[in-house]
Amino acid sequence: MKKQNGIHSLERDIESLIWETVKERESKCKEACSLEKDLLHLILEVYCRCCLLVPLLLALHPEWQSRVRAEAAEVCGDCLRDADSITLLKTVTMVVQEALRLYPPAAFVSREALDEIQLGNVTIPKGVCLWTLIPTLHRDTEIWGSDANEFKPERFSEGVSKACKYPQAYIPFGVGPRLCLGRNLAMVQLKVVLTLIISKFTFSLSPKYRHCPAYRMIVEPGNGVHILIKNI
């Protein structure tokens, strides 16, 4: 229990630091018309595309859109006041986690065997490059159940550890020493942007939308996301 409390405390500290960084970046953007694209800017740019996929899924599932909006109104009111507000967004977190399961930012993870290794009953020779297709792993029915292809945020109601048979199979930001640098930043950003949007607008899918996920360096909408937005 003490170890678990320590982990939660560190996560809160990280989210607070990220919040301060994002607010500082926002302030700088107001002071200048254009800024050079530093690492933070590039990370934010990539995960803005992920945010499009979240409104897409909520447009397809209005019942979850309503649940997220209700939570945002209860926790935040008119605005997100501080980092502590983000940790209270349980429904938003579930929705984001499920969106990242169905459409993970990274399409694959590759690793080279530096020595001959044994994985189960398979021998991997030295020098062989192993590729793990994350979208395939995230939709494996043996790991996630028969509803693996369905949008069901409730599977994360008790966290990642209880969401599937093997929690190590959930790797939207990669795994191991090359875990995505912007993981925590991306999660905070997605929650903030989603909460701000959904508190002011309702959205539904446009008849012009054609579902076409593109597996490039990251997974993104191949033909963009067409959503009809209305003021609340």
> Under 8 Å CB-to-CB from 199, ≥6 apart: which residues?
69, 72, 73, 76, 78, 232
Sign of the dihedral through C-alpha 79, 80, 82, 87: positive
Whether 210 and 223 have beta carbons less than 8 Å apart is answered as: yes
Whether 224 and 55 have beta carbons less than 8 Å apart is answered as: no
Distances (CA, A) of 188 to 19, 43, 75, 103, 181: 8, 12, 15, 18, 13
DSSP tag of 154: G
- CA-nearest of 111, 95, 162, 174 to 137 is 174
Give the 3-state secondary structure of residue 107: coil
Give the 3-state secondary structure of residue 36: coil
Query: Is 180 annotated as belonging to a binding site?
Result: yes
Give the 3-state secondary structure of residue 119: strand
Name the amino acid, one letter, at 223. Answer: N
Whether 103 and 201 have beta carbons less than 8 Å apart is answered as: no
Known binding-site residues equal 180
Known binding-site residues for heme equal 180
